[in-house]
Amino acid sequence: MKKFAIMTAFALLGGAALAETPSEKIGVNSALGIAPTTQDFVTEATSVGQFEIQSSQIAQDRDPDQATKSFAQQMITDHQKLGSELKELVKSKAINVTIPDAMGRSDQSTLDEAQNAERR
């Protein structure tokens, strides 16, 4: 009976992992001790990088504090550089992955909320 319960739990977790976003799938895989695929990593890194850039642009536009604007610019610069480096690494090593053009749904939803929030 105990063996059946464990098998059922793994089956449920495995099914849930297939329906989840890359970051959620990476988290589930990590909990199960399964390494994410290269595509999962590239997709998540690209999405997070784009989110950081766009959310930092919102901060620059909305926050009057110069320290915030400076930090936001550093975030933009750093994440643009990381995105370029990731693309170059994929290209130079001929890694067979697709680099997404847009951020993931979860990151886009969070960004949309920030864009629609009341301005200070």
Instruction: Give Cβ neighbours of residue 35 (< 8 Å, ≥ 6 apart).
Output: 29
15 and 62 housed in the same domain: no
Q: What is the pTM of this model?
A: 0.72
DSSP 101: S
**Top-confidence residue, 36 or 93:** 93
89 and 119 housed in the same domain: yes
- Calpha distance 88→109 (Å, rounded): 28
pLDDT at 111: 94
48, 8, 14, 44: which is closest to 31 by C-alpha? 14
85 and 27 housed in the same domain: no
64 and 8 housed in the same domain: no
29 and 70 housed in the same domain: no
* Contact assessment for residue 101 and residue 41, using Cβ atoms and an 8 Å cutoff: no
Is the pLDDT score of 55 beyond 60? Answer: yes
Give the relative orientation of helices 38-62 and 22-32 as an angle to the nearest 10 degrees: 130
What ranges in 19-104 are assigned the alpha helix state H? 22-32, 38-62, 66-92
82 and 95 housed in the same domain: yes
- Tell me the C-alpha to C-alpha distance, in Å, between residue 57 and each of 26, 27, 43, 77: 27, 28, 21, 11
- Calpha distance 7→10 (Å, rounded): 5
pLDDT tens sequence across 10-24: 444 444 444 455 555
Residue range(s) defining the domain that contains residue 120: 37-120
49 and 12 housed in the same domain: no
Number of domains in the chain: 2
51 and 66 housed in the same domain: yes
79 and 104 housed in the same domain: yes
